[in-house]
């Protein structure tokens, strides 16, 4: 449910990505934005198979695969280069964060290896097990979170396996058919052994972000008594569709979120979703806090809700397209989804898309009515066209991204939107005066003219009053994960 906030005048910058075209395809989520990134190496849409060149950091080899017309797994904040950075080309020197990450990685690899059987390497499933280990804390947790994000870029691609060793990492892909493999065009078996050796500014920034998140997040559900919707921020998963929906609900009715989470007093939480069976998860670990989304200084509620939703998708087999889930609940929400599904799970009410055939007057009236009735509204940008180099629309919005719709001003025909990244702003190069009024602050909030909104956001899902599901009894708490002690 969403609250109309006509008094809000604080436009902001960011946008999160959704996954997929403007049809009932999955919408992904952009992960939190990082600084300037390697143009062809980190267009983090968790792409379809053909979009391998940009996704795998193989620009140095001259490979830049096209984007497949279909669902994107989601946008990750800061993973998309700006037009300026695209023109400038690859960064010549990785920032200090990347050097700190590689140093921390090599320092901690022996510990991770001992926890996963002393094989001498880590697989994707090993990483997922480590992510759930509460004994891994601080800088070690931040480094592990960055490893998880590197692995995610590869494990969503059919036929791809990753291995991390003390000295580096590799991804091997064997797949067939047109557009298959790292380079496309038939069956290939290739290994990229430079996952930790190339300049990767976004991974360095991811590590620094992880350090900050683990340091500032209190291990209590609600640091301020109830959820603050503006504290919610997407992390390194492609689940903008979920984070935008949760953001809407937290703004409209924070007590509904508060009452949904039950502390079992044994290190676990049960989330009583209104649209599906209750889900019990262990408290988020430092590594999970570092890698994924959450509510930062406002407490654990954002992380708990994201983790429980991911587990719910795994339980309900809604994320079978993700071969890398491997027992990590957060991964169940990764690689894209639909805001209609998220709305139905969260609220227990049906959801559908507002018709694009309405006139501007009727469309605006529909937005205003939904907002006044506290119905959740989530807008989706267009899917990326083939050979997109930046992952951004001409006005700066990420392709394949979902954002919360939080207000409408009928006098000016302007729509108020929030990007779950909490940063990375909308701009309109053809209307610089308008752009100046849209960008402001770090909350991710900005205003768009209705015409521009409808052009850039071909899908807007809306919560309806129809009952979707009657939730059952509280679930039995799960047992703590046991790791190999090697």
Rg (CA), the chain: 21
Distance CA(440)–CA(206), nearest Å, equals 23
Sign of the alpha-carbon torsion through 302, 308, 312, 314 = positive
Q: pLDDT tens digits, the chain, 486 residues: what are they?
A: 333 333 333 333 333 333 332 333 345 544 444 322 222 222 222 222 222 222 222 222 222 222 222 233 345 554 433 333 333 333 445 456 778 888 899 999 999 999 999 999 999 889 999 999 999 999 999 999 999 988 887 766 666 778 899 887 777 776 544 334 443 434 444 555 556 655 466 788 889 999 999 999 999 999 999 999 999 999 988 999 999 999 999 999 999 999 999 999 999 999 999 999 999 999 999 999 999 999 999 999 999 999 999 999 988 875 444 444 457 899 888 878 999 999 999 999 999 999 989 999 999 999 999 999 999 999 999 888 877 777 787 777 888 999 999 999 999 899 999 999 987 556 542 233 333 344 444 578 888 899 999 999 999 999 997 654 444 433 333 333 333 323
What is the number of residues in the chain?
486
C-alpha distances out from residue 356 to 77, 344, 353, Å = 28, 21, 9
Helical ranges in 228-323 per DSSP H: 240-252, 254-260, 286-291, 301-315
The residues that bridge with 352 in the sheet, in sequence order, are 462
pLDDT of residue 318: 56
CA-to-CA distance for 291 and 213, rounded, in angstroms? 9
N-to-C CA span, the chain: 48
DSSP for 130-196, written as a single string: HHT-TT--HHHHHHHHHHHHHHHHHHTSTTEEEEE-SS-EEEEEEE-STT-TTT-SS-EEEEE--TT
d(CA 161, CA 120) in angstroms, rounded, equals 16
Bridge partners (DSSP) of residue 190 are 173
Burial (0-12, 13-18, 19+ Cβ within 10 Å), 131: buried
**Cα–Cα distance list, 115 to 152, 282, 376 (Å):** 21, 19, 43
Give residue 182's pLDDT: 40
CB-based contact 345:458 (threshold 8 Å) = no
Question: For residues 33 and 266, what is the distance between their CA atoms, to the nearest angstrom?
Answer: 34
Q: What is the pLDDT of residue 467?
A: 55
- Distance between CA atoms of residues 339 and 242, nearest Å: 6
């Amino acid at each position: 449910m969403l609250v109309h906030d006509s008094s809000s005048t604080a436009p902001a910058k960011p946008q999160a990505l959704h996954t997929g075209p403007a049809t009932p395809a999955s919408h992904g989520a952009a992960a939190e934005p990082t600084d300037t990134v390697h143009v062809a190496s980190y267009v983090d849409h968790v792409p379809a198979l053909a979009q391998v060149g940009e996704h795998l950091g193989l620009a140095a080899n001259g490979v830049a695969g096209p984007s497949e017309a279909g669902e994107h797994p989601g946008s990750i904040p800061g993973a998309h280069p700006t037009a300026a950075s695209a023109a400038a080309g690859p960064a010549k020197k990785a920032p200090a964060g990347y050097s700190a990450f590689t140093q921390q990685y090599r320092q901690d690899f022996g510990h991770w290896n001992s926890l996963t059987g002393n094989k001498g390497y880590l697989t994707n499933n090993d990483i997922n097990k480590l992510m759930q280990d509460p004994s891994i804390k601080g800088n070690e947790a931040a480094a592990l979170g960055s490893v998880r994000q590197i692995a995610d870029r590869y494990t969503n691609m059919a036929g791809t396996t990753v291995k991390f060793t003390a000295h580096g990492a590799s991804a091997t892909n064997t797949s067939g058919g047109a557009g298959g493999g790292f380079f496309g065009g038939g069956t290939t078996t290739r290994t990229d052994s430079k996952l930790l050796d190339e300049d990767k500014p976004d991974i360095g920034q991811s590590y620094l972000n992880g350090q900050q998140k683990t340091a500032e997040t209190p291990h209590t559900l609600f640091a301020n008594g109830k959820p603050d919707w503006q504290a919610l921020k997407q992390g390194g998963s492609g689940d903008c569709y979920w984070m935008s929906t949760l953001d809407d609900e937290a703004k409209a009715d924070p007590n509904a979120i508060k009452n949904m989470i039950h502390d079992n007093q044994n290190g676990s939480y049960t989330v009583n979703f209104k649209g599906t069976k209750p889900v019990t998860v262990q408290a988020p670990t430092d590594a999970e806090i570092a890698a994924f989304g959450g509510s930062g200084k406002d407490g654990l509620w954002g992380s708990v809700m994201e983790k429980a939703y991911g587990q719910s998708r795994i339980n309900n087999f809604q994320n079978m397209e993700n071969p890398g889930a491997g027992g990590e609940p957060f991964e169940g929400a990764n690689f894209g989804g639909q805001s209609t599904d998220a709305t139905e799970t969260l609220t227990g009410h049906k959801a559908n898309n507002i018709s694009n055939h309405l006139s501007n007057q009727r469309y605006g009236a529909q937005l205003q009515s939904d907002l006044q009735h506290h119905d959740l509204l989530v807008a989706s940008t267009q899917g990326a066209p083939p050979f997109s180099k930046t992952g951004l629309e001409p006005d700066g919005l990420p392709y394949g991204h979902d954002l919360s719709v939080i207000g409408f001003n009928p006098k000016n025909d302007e729509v108020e939107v929030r990007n779950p990244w909490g940063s990375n702003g909308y701009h309109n190069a053809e209307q610089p005066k308008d752009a100046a009024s849209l960008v402001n602050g770090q909350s991710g909030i900005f205003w768009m003219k209705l015409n521009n909104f409808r052009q850039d956001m071909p899908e807007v899902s809306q919560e309806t009053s129809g009952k979707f599901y009657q939730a059952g009894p509280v679930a039995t708490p799960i047992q703590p994960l046991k790791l190999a002690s090697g």
